[in-house]
A and B are shown apart, each in its own frame.
Chain A
Amino acid sequence: MGRAPVPAAVAAYGRSMRDQRLPTSPDFWRSPLRGTWFTSVLGLVLLAGITVLFVTGLLSYAAYNPDLSPVNDQTPDKGLLGFYLFSWPTRPAWLYRLNQGVHVTLGITLIPVLLAKLWSVVPKLFTLPPARSLAHALERISLLLLVGGGLFEFVTGVLNIQLDYVFPGSFYPLHFYGAWVFFAAFVAHAVLKLPAALRNVRGLREERGELHAPRPDPPTVSRRGALGLVGGGSLLLFGTTVGHSFDGVARQTAVLAPHGGSEPGSGPNGFQINKTAAYARIDPAETAADAWRLVLTGRTGTLRLSRADLARLPLYSSALPIACVEGWSTSNQWWRGVRLRDLAALVGHDRPTDVYVESLQRHGAFRHAALRANQVGDERSLLALYVNGEDLDPDHGFPARVIVPAAPGVLNTKWVARLTFGDLR
């Protein structure tokens, strides 16, 4: 990194580059804040934070059980990128809630750090000559993947949780494949820069590298002050987002986050809704007592049960949360209904098996969903008829909905019309 003094022979060439009106000139960049220590501190925070984002992202992907059935799989051509997939467990019940809360809240919290890091290294974007060596040229191409990929991931994530689907395609493949492109560049960057970053932060060597402004303006804030602003921004975002994973007063503190602030309603069915009955175009006529029948199919044939028939079966209670891929979640709701494994037994599956769930929902992803045998077999997995002591209301899936511990919200199918038990693989 340390540069030898510029030999006199290249000084003339250097002068022509040093037109300070151009960003290619080091003199163009005047902030006295830029420097290796500042960049290294931010880089190390991002190294830890983005690693957690990547791992929680991969776990969230596994939580959908994409290898179980095509309906769960938004990325059928994943190939080797699904190498680590495993049967998503049902314990602890708050597993997905925690995973996704960390993924989204941490992602939001890291935005100021990301912006500050990019600000601190922006002079390097304009450095001339474009490449000092083949290795350096490749590194700069890799940086495009790093910066473009990082921003792509953060932007698609932030837009998706606000339901602003303006990006070019479905969120799942964009965010998932984009994450791998980004991560490939991220690992290379970390390997190349980590030793220097650690050296810089420990202060073993005061390097005056290319990030330092050669002719800085007078400082308006110290480096520690600037880091304080970045940290303050992160703290503000954390404080106004983390409440979306809790209820009541805590949710009120998530003043700008989606599903923050107030609950959509009051009473037993007043908790957060992912998709309303209006969105799913559920016609009240088809959920009426004389119209709606649950179609159960299994080894011994098909049964058609009314809601009253279901209510006469043994009913059980489970206290389980709703946790959305978008990061928000509710605390435990008190669900009551028929165990999925009891329904499986009604159609001849005494040992837990997979189930294919179909909803009355007309359009949208995940109106059909598959659950694995371990999810069907869990005693807390229900086809719920009641929540918090009352009938489900239409927005929460009346006449009946699936609720499975630790599963992503969209796999807890609402307005269930048909359950087909049997091996899906």
Chain B
Amino acid sequence: MKRRIPAGSRLRAMQRRIPVGSPLQILLLACSFALAGYAAVRLLAGDWLGVTLWFVGAALLHDLVLLPLYSAADRALVRGCAAVGRRERLLYVRVPAALSLLLLLIWAPLITGAVDRSYRLAAGQSTDGYLARWLLMTALLFAGSAAVLALRLRRAAKHRPPAAH
């Protein structure tokens, strides 16, 4: 970057503040933008506003809504467990709850029955079973977690020296 900078201390200061960075990286990103642009023109050929909203909205909704929500829920769970003095049992609620919510997040259209009409018409099947099966999966996850906890508690009780009582 040995280019001669025109006189003017402000401009020079700005150039100092915002360096160019790696030219290879710029070249790579320029290639990436060229390809992305070529596809984006076609992606936006129809409902450009709707697609843009979905594209940007997906990132914003995830980063600014979904992630803070589940982080807050997890923090509340940690605090709750600490409040009742059962911090070591946090895991046994956290894991089944996270897995159950993950299933709900992905299969919400089927579990809530929102697509029942189109699913019935297309696949010839109803979405009726999905809610029940999700609840059953959730129950199984929590039951499995409880079973593991019970097993560990029993093992710990067996190995505990009598003096600890």
Q: Which residues of A contact B (CB under 8 A)?
A: 75, 77-81, 108, 111-112, 115, 118-119, 122, 125, 131-136, 138-139, 141-142, 144-145, 147-149, 151-152, 155, 158-159, 162-165, 167-170, 173-174, 177-178, 180-181, 183-185, 187-188, 191-192, 220-221, 225, 229, 232-233, 236-237, 240, 255-259, 261-262, 264-265, 272-276, 278-279, 395
How many angstroms from the CA of A229 to the CA of B67 in the assembled complex? 17
Docked Cα-Cα span, A128 to B89, in Å, equals 38
- Across the two chains, which residue of chain B brings its CB closest to A164? B109
In the complex, which of the residues B19, B20, B33, B107 contacts A256, with contact meaning CB atoms closer than 8 Å?
A: B107
- B46 near A168 with CB under 8 A, answer yes
Does A77 contact B45, Cβ atoms closer than 8 Å? yes
Identify A135's interface contact among B22, B46, B62, B98, CB under 8 A. Answer: B22
- Check A168–B51 contact: CB distance below 8 A: yes
- A-side contacts of B38, CB under 8 Å: 79-81, 180
In the complex the two chains form, what is the Cα distance from A75 to B46 in whole Å?
11
Q: What are 10 A-B pairs at a CB distance below 8 A?
A: A122-B63, A167-B54, A168-B51, A173-B46, A178-B43, A180-B38, A181-B55, A237-B102, A259-B125, A276-B124
Task: Provide the residues of chain A in CB contact with B9, threshold 8 Å.
Answer: none
Chain B, Cβ-Cβ closest to A23: B68
Q: How far is the CB of B113 from chain A (nearest CB, A)?
A: 11
How far, in whole Å, are A275 and B120 apart by their CA atoms in the complex? 9
- Nearest Cβ in chain B — how far from A10, in angstroms? 12
- Complex CA gap A292/B39 in Å reads 44
A396 to B: closest C-beta gap in Å: 10
Q: B121's contact among A122, A257, A279, by CB below 8 Å, is which?
A: A279
B50 at the interface (CB under 8 A from A): yes
Interface flag for B35 (CB, 8 Å): yes
- In the complex formed, the residue of B with least CB distance to A364 is B122
Q: Which of B97-146 contact A (CB under 8 A)?
A: 98-99, 102-103, 106-107, 109-111, 114-115, 118-119, 121-125, 129-130, 133-134, 136-137
Q: How far is the CB of A147 from chain B (nearest CB, A)?
A: 5
The answer on a CB contact under 8 Å between A229 and B46 is: no
**How distant is A249 from chain B, measured CB to nearest CB, in Å?**
16
Give every chain A residue within 8 A of B29 (Cβ-Cβ): 135, 138-139, 142, 188
- Smallest CB separation, B16 vs chain A (Å): 11
Tell me whether B51 and A148 are in contact (CB under 8 A).
Answer: no
Contact of B47 among A169, A178, A180, A184 (CB under 8 A): A169
CA distance A264 to B106 in the complex (A): 23
Among B21, B31, B32, B115, point to the contact of A164 (Cβ < 8 A).
B115
The answer to whether A163 touches B115 (Cβ under 8 A) is yes
Residues of A within 8 A of B62 (CB): 118, 147, 151
Q: B50: which of A138, A169, A170 is its contact (CB, 8 Å)?
A: A169
- Smallest CB-CB separation from A78: which chain B residue? B42
- Asked whether A237 lies within 8 Å of B106 as measured between CB atoms, the reply is yes
